[in-house]
Amino acid sequence: MKAADLIHKIANISSYQQYGRVKRVIGLMIESQGPDCSVGDICYIYPSQKQSNKKILAEVVGFRDEMVILMPYTHLSEIAPGSLVESEGKPLEIKVGSALIGKIVDPLGMPMDGSVLPRGLSSIATDQEPPNPLKRPPISERLEVGIRAIDSLLTVGKGQRIGIFAGSGVGKSTLLGMIARNTKADLNVIGLIGERGREVSEFVERDLGPEGLSRSIVVAATSDQPALMRIKGAYTATSIAEYFRDKGFNVMLLMDSVTRVAMAQREIGLATGEPPATKGYTPSVFAILPKLLERTGTSEKGTITAFYTVLVDGDDLNEPIADTVRGILDGHIVLDRNLANKGQFPAIHVLKSISRLMNTLADEDHKHAAAKIREMMSTYLNAEDLINIGAYKKGSSEDIDKAIAYYPKIVSFLKQDVNEKSTMEESIRSLIQLGEKGDWQ
């Protein structure tokens, strides 16, 4: 550190500490009288004088009358009336750098295997503003994700933001693992938010694998952790992606799931006294979602291509969170339970999915072939019930006859084994051959 920087830091150190005292604990909230602080500031709570070396990290989430409302990053045990509260006077910061690649960290940026942080890391704030919209370069370059159905029919560009919408158990995590292993992005940042404890290691070992982990940073916040930790998991993953984007990287951000981020914010909102608005979700939920999702995308230095999974209750794609997220993002991929039940994996329902930038990124032959395949799939699915019960007679419709002949080849093209790799060039070439000749071999 330069001498001038060190002198500046010393000059800005407060000559006294700001303290407060815990007055009461209600549910998830801690109310304290003092210290002087702002919303978002970090505070340390000392449980008792006998354990003065132990401190609990908490964040200021609001104010009520003259009381400071805090929410801890850990559980509330051992906090009692009179516990000392010390303000840091700044929001949460994490350490980040290239040495984190290949590691699994918690929402506070600490390695989950108990190791110490490597040296030479930089401090960054977890809560940052989205880039200036007038300084965002347009998305003009395709990004290979290695999934045949996506690269050919739902082409993604560098800096695009896509939602993966599905119910539970339809293959969201498996699809994310395939994207992380196969993508041509420079680096993966993976946020596992609200996952079951066993699923973290399973995802890393089975879905991501050593190949994927070697060029990834995983941020994990399990479902048993407090709501604030789950939200910070999403913010931390986004901040790490922003750091590498500012270094000129093309980053792939994979977050599973944004629905659990919304649920965590609902917990905090209800605890701080917000009224439930839409299906129990508080107004703050719909305020933080666009702020979080808009932080990704392009900037003047690099790109963050983001895939956010959205867990839809009862496969209802019109529930509030799914509807809000779909309106913010640049496209959506729908995983269909019926396709999964038929053994089609990844279970992407092409007709319900869309990439809003595909027409900009694809050439004319590619767009023509994709439109033709979509048309044949639509024709077949509209007549599927008649075909299955034997009510359709061959020759009644030339379009349906052609769709019946093509459909098995289309399904075979869309299927992809978990360990199967397919380049974008191969996927597009096969799509064009299938669209033009009906033979993609």
Q: Which residues pair with 86 in a beta bridge?
A: 19, 44
The terminus-to-terminus CA distance of the chain in angstroms comes to 61
Q: Which residues pair with 335 in a beta bridge?
A: 348
Report the distance separating Cα 69 and Cα 24, nearest Å: 10
Report the distance separating Cα 310 and Cα 323, nearest Å: 10
Report all structural domains of the chain as residue ranges with CATH numbers, in order of start: 16-90 (2.40.10.170), 94-359 (3.40.50.12240), 364-437 (1.20.1270.330)
Q: What is the pTM of this model?
A: 0.91
Q: Which residues pair with 251 in a beta bridge?
A: 187, 304
Q: Is the backbone of residue 82 left (phi > 0), alpha (psi -120 to 50) or beta?
A: left
Report the distance separating Cα 83 and Cα 71, nearest Å: 14
CB 407 within 8 A of CB 381: no
- How many other CB atoms are found less than 10 A from the CB of residue 137? 14
The one-digit pLDDT tens for each residue of the chain (441 residues) are 566 666 666 666 554 457 899 999 988 889 999 888 999 999 999 887 555 567 899 999 988 888 999 999 988 878 888 899 999 889 999 999 999 999 999 999 999 988 899 888 999 999 999 999 999 999 999 999 999 999 999 999 999 999 999 988 898 989 999 999 999 999 999 999 998 888 899 999 988 989 899 999 999 999 999 999 999 999 999 999 999 999 999 999 999 989 999 999 999 999 888 999 888 899 999 999 999 999 999 999 999 999 999 998 777 788 899 999 999 999 999 999 999 999 999 999 999 999 999 999 999 999 999 999 999 999 999 999 999 898 999 999 999 999 999 999 999 999 999 999 999 999 999 999 998 765 434
Q: What is the DSSP letter of 208?
A: I
How far, in whole angstroms, is CA 314 from its chain's centroid? 21
